[in-house]
Structure 1
Amino acid sequence: MIEAVSRRALLPLSVALAGAGLASAAEPLRAGEHGYALAAGVYRVDANMRIDADLKLAPGAVIEIAPGATLQLSGHFEAPLSRVFAGSGRVDLNHGRTPHAHPEWWGAAPGDSGRDSLAAMQACHAAHPVMQLLPADYYLSDTLVVERAFSRITGSGFRGTDGWQGTRLILTNGRGDVMRVGPRSRPPSVNDFPQNIEIRSLALCRSAPVDAGAGRQPVGLAASYLLYARFEQVSAAEHGTSFLLHGLVRSQLIDCVAFRSIPAVQGGQPWRGFLLDGMSDIGLAGGNASLFMTDCNATIGGNPGVSDSVGLLLEGAFADSFITNFEATAVAVGIRVDGQTARIGDRARNGHVNLHIRMPIVDQCGEAGIVIRDTSAHMMIDLAEPYVAVAPQGRAGIRCEAMHGSLAIQGGQLVGTTNSAAGGTAVGLLVNDSEGLQVRGLKILEHAAPVELSACRGFALQGWIGNPRHATPRDAALLRDCARGTVALLVVGRDRAFGGGVAIEGTARRLRIDTNGHDDAALSGGEDNRVRRRGRPVPVQGDSLFLDEA
């Protein structure tokens, strides 16, 4: 039972509660048998005060807290979703029985673009570890900073594109970041990183076009130096970089969405859906440590006028990153791993290992689906079951450039149907100046040039190449200036689908070619063109050929 307090005049809260039989406010208040209710009116808190009883506020009741004073509510607190706390003093709900707090209690104005809800959200976050948001728009004048350990912010939906379609935090300028989670600078040790921060089910947006005039790309969610963090069903739309991740340890991103469709103030700016920043040394092997990304998505819509749009960029030291079911649509590059070997120096030794990318989906990439470049001899990457469909203007399904170490591609599908039908010349697997490539079970469909390797060493290719409809004068595979490699491909397709099976140009040192899987009907010239050397057929004895010549 809640005992009512009917005083409506402007009076100290202690007086109102004392009228209900509580002790004086000069000492901590302790709950009796019942809780208490405040009727409409304004009640002052002039000094530190603790209420152990349950407290319920009727519509129109407001508690005004004086500067420097703290109101600690240790029982259960219940109030309408309107402003009930006023004044510059603090409210402390951290040790009570209230399951969560609402920023509306501090004056947040859902759906009102003319009112700034930033201060209300900051006060709410300080007062209670759990902040619950309505399915509405909250307008912010500056970045919402979240550094409190063991805290959670939960919205009511993250894919809405209009008001009252889920929860949207909308920054009212084009230069700032919408939300920063974690400290800007590195704490002394990993155990000092803020722990167990969760952000769920909300969208991070802005009401003004991206403005990179300050020399940096504005960010939707910037997360840094966190331990056991979790971001689930968070979308970030219309930013220079949607998600910037640095120094996250044993943390997760689940079902998060990056999107861009509106041009920036400055045209031709780059766009990053998710950026895993490993460029600076933070005392870890990679830029993050045990970072798990699952079911995340990056998409370009319309014509935002960006350059070099990348769905997921891992830059510098990328160790201990685990990417599962990542999807990118209509971007230039779906996933780019850029080792930046020279720039990170000795950090590449431990920073270029333990990267696992499983079942990525890249649809209609404008340049390349997956790019691996500039990695050190210590690099180890596992790429499992990729799907890439190349857009008409695309250049490659998977591209490797200046790659050293070991990349293993297991299974997967590279689809060039749209590209080849539009007269495109995309290469399914394009590799240059690289070593340590291992391919097993990769399927390459309807490409003008299925496989091209140049200046590659120490590789093994085993897979399927098929052009059931598209005919190309190129060979199914081209090896130029390559050494220490084995090639065993199943080559099938329509009659004379390919100019030949495997073409070898330039030097050929210790190359072994297995032609047993070539369908001669799919090759122009049939059996004689299973292998061609400088444009001329090379006799193959027993379906296998070994070449070691300059």
Structure 2
Amino acid sequence: MKHDISRRALLPVATGIGWGAVGLFAGSAPAQANPQSLTDTPPTVLTPGVHRVDINLTIRGDLMVPSGTTIEIAEGRTLTLLGSFMAPLAHVFTGTGTVDLNRSRMVEAHPEWWGAAPGDSRRDSLAALKACLAAHPVMRLLAADYFISATFAVERSFCRIIGSGFRGTEPGQGTRLIMTGGRADVLRVGPASRPKTVNDFLQNVDVRGIALARTVAPDTSGEAQPAGLRAQFLLFGRIDDVSAAEHAVGFVARGLVRTTFTNCVAFRSMRGKQDNQYWRGFLLDGSVDIGLAGGNASLSLIECNASIGGDPKIGDGVGLLLDGAFADSFILGFETTGIATGIRVDGRADALAARGRNGHVNLHLTMPIIDQCGTIGIEIRNTSTHAMIDITEPYVAVAPSATAALRFDRMRGAATLTGGQCVGNMDMAAGGHAAGLEALDSHGLQTTGLKILEHSRPVVVTRCNGLSLRLLIANPSSRPGGDAISVSNCTAGTIAPLISGQDGAFATGVRFVGGSVQMHVDASGIMPAALDGNGPRVMNGDRPFSLPSREAYITVDGI
């Protein structure tokens, strides 16, 4: 049955490539997806002008739209295309009806067909982006700026959004989605509220090659901190080559299962209305029980980066924050530059209570690179007695203002630190007094092969138990004059350092301060020349331990 449509008819036209002019329209009922019929159906070539669709219409063959032609779809009506759609990257589809390309032969769709205005800051492209993604599971964006006034919410499964580059900061340098306000997230992947079960989460969403920006500084006065990308309640997601600049939080991950972020970048340089603004490069949110052991499950961050440029007056800036339950998180090659705290794991053990049993296991930080941290490089704090954490080959270089390269504060459970390098800053005039490794009120810390270079306080452990510290301390260029290792009120542990440096770099190798029991010290790796006046390798307060020439081990019990 052939349907006429008002104003101008959609008529098949011979194209000169062997197609005939035959009847095309399938009526209001959906066409049967018969591959042979699609092949045999000739294309429709529209004449220039406006074509109105007043019925539910299915076109089996290809549709060709010349420049300057639009298709107006009436409210409540749907135009379904099963073949290919050939049109310039211009506004083609108008009206309040919908377009369905989901069963077409199209590889991807472009939001320009729905009126997106790349490069035009005066026009809001949000509606066009939403219409495009609803019409086809793959949306292709140009190397241009798309301005939006509210959050672009991706709420369909099995879809892909592909940009043309993500590191650009100027027009034409890749694809940018630009929020024109300071309160809203730029992009949200996942539903606004938690579904009933994990199997009801959004599935298989792929976002890549896009920069998320905003025209004004984020407004951090409200409870919800505006993010570049907020991914939540998502199963099998991939976020690749996405940058998020000038937000309160670059990336938020909450309720993600088997999801990976690869080569994503968070950046902040824009100063807000108030000083000491909140900023997180990446936030893995496990603060609320959503039915997973952690806030996420099998979440991977691979070679992601967070940095600060200029002086945006950030208060407690953190490159990567794992907040609350953090089980099943795998962080590989995470890098930060110029941020107060590079990585913070805040287990909130008191608040999580029983959730800490399963929520504080299976965390892996592998080869993190923390450069010029202003306060702490990597901080692990307030974890439960069930915590199990592996940190492998970290690199931390501290700024003069830093207090510690590595800090464990109320870390209960077990944390293993394997290898790694802590590079200090010995500019005393600038306040270079950072500890290399600091542990406070912690249990179950094991280090093997950690190297601490040029720190005034290489190792400080206080009120800890169950320690095993096997590490290297070297100060070849400085003489801070303090203790290489300070131990206060600790129980049940082994300390086996290799200590070297300039002549008299340290006052002593290992000093026990206050009461410590069941501590075993292997002093054989402490070079006497690195100690002031070839002083004692091990001290109990102000009293040196006597080490016979053939005795290198000390068991400290009841100091």
TM-score normalized by structure 2? 0.94
Q: State the match for 2:403 in structure 1.
A: 395
Between stretches 229-238 and 20-29, larger displacement belongs to 20-29
Q: State the match for 1:547 in structure 2.
A: 556
Structure 2: which 5+ residue stretches go unaligned? 15-19, 32-36
CA–CA distance in structure 1, aligned partners of residues 25 and 230 of structure 2: 47
Tell me if the contact between 2:326 and 2:361 (Cα under 8 Å) persists in the aligned partners. Answer: yes
CA–CA distance in structure 1, aligned partners of residues 426 and 21 of structure 2: 76
Structure 1 pair 417/27, CA: closer, same or farther in 2 (3 Å)?
Answer: closer
For residues 284-313 of structure 1, what are the alpha-carbon distances to aligned partners after superposition, in whole Å with 9 as ceiling and x for unaligned?
100000001100000011100111100000
For residues 357-394 of structure 1, what are the alpha-carbon distances to aligned partners after superposition, in whole Å with 9 as ceiling and x for unaligned?
00000000000100000001000000000000000101
SS of the residue corresponding to residue 417 of structure 1 reads coil
Paired residue type of 1:257: V
Q: State the match for 1:346 in structure 2.
A: 354
Give the C-alpha shift of residue 24 in structure 1.
5.2
Tell me if the contact between 2:41 and 2:60 (Cα under 8 Å) persists in the aligned partners. Answer: no
Structure 1 pair 50/405, CA: closer, same or farther in 2 (3 Å)?
Answer: same
Select 1:153's aligned residue among 147, 161, 175.
161
CA–CA distance in structure 1, aligned partners of residues 102 and 53 of structure 2: 18
Q: State the match for 2:42 in structure 1.
A: 34
User: Is 1:11 aligned with 2:23?
Assistant: no
SS of the residue corresponding to residue 352 of structure 2 reads helix
Q: State the match for 1:295 in structure 2.
A: 303
Select 2:508's aligned residue among 500, 509, 521.
500
Matches within 5 A, 1:323-472: 323-417=331-425, 422-472=430-480
For residues 422-443 of structure 1, what are the alpha-carbon distances to aligned partners after superposition, in whole Å with 9 as ceiling and x for unaligned?
4511100011111100000000
CA–CA distance in structure 1, aligned partners of residues 293 and 526 of structure 2: 44
Structure 1 pair 418/227, CA: closer, same or farther in 2 (3 Å)?
Answer: farther
Give the C-alpha shift of residue 14 in structure 1.
4.1
Tell me if the contact between 2:189 and 2:229 (Cα under 8 Å) persists in the aligned partners. Answer: yes
For residues 250-297 of structure 1, what are the alpha-carbon distances to aligned partners after superposition, in whole Å with 9 as ceiling and x for unaligned?
000000000001111232122100000001111110000000110000
Q: How many residues align?
A: 542
Between stretches 54-63 and 281-290, larger displacement belongs to 54-63
SS of the residue corresponding to residue 356 of structure 2 reads helix
Give the C-alpha shift of residue 23 in structure 1.
4.5
SS of the residue corresponding to residue 529 of structure 2 reads helix
Give the C-alpha shift of residue 66 in structure 1.
0.5
Q: State the match for 2:543 in structure 1.
A: 536
The percentage of aligned residue pairs carrying the same residue is 53
Pairwise CA RMSD: 1.8
Q: State the match for 1:489 in structure 2.
A: 497
Matches within 5 A, 1:32-431: 32-417=40-425, 422-431=430-439
SS of the residue corresponding to residue 489 of structure 2 reads strand
Give the C-alpha shift of residue 445 in structure 1.
0.1
Give the C-alpha shift of residue 147 in structure 1.
1.1
Structure 1 pair 209/548, CA: closer, same or farther in 2 (3 Å)?
Answer: same
Give the C-alpha shift of residue 184 in structure 1.
2.0
SS of the residue corresponding to residue 203 of structure 2 reads coil
For residues 332-360 of structure 1, what are the alpha-carbon distances to aligned partners after superposition, in whole Å with 9 as ceiling and x for unaligned?
10000000011111000000000000000
- Runs of 4+ displaced beyond 6 Å: 16-19
Tell me if the contact between 2:393 and 2:418 (Cα under 8 Å) persists in the aligned partners. Answer: yes
Paired residue type of 2:406: I
CA–CA distance in structure 1, aligned partners of residues 108 and 429 of structure 2: 56
Tell me if the contact between 1:233 and 1:254 (Cα under 8 Å) persists in the aligned partners. Answer: yes
Structure 1 pair 24/105, CA: closer, same or farther in 2 (3 Å)?
Answer: closer
CA–CA distance in structure 1, aligned partners of residues 25 and 151 of structure 2: 41
Structure 1 pair 237/202, CA: closer, same or farther in 2 (3 Å)?
Answer: same
Tell me if the contact between 1:360 and 1:387 (Cα under 8 Å) persists in the aligned partners. Answer: yes
Structure 1: which 5+ residue stretches go unaligned? 1-8
SS of the residue corresponding to residue 490 of structure 2 reads strand
SS of the residue corresponding to residue 267 of structure 1 reads coil
Give the C-alpha shift of residue 17 in structure 1.
7.3
Structure 1 pair 165/444, CA: closer, same or farther in 2 (3 Å)?
Answer: same
Between stretches 417-426 and 253-262, larger displacement belongs to 417-426
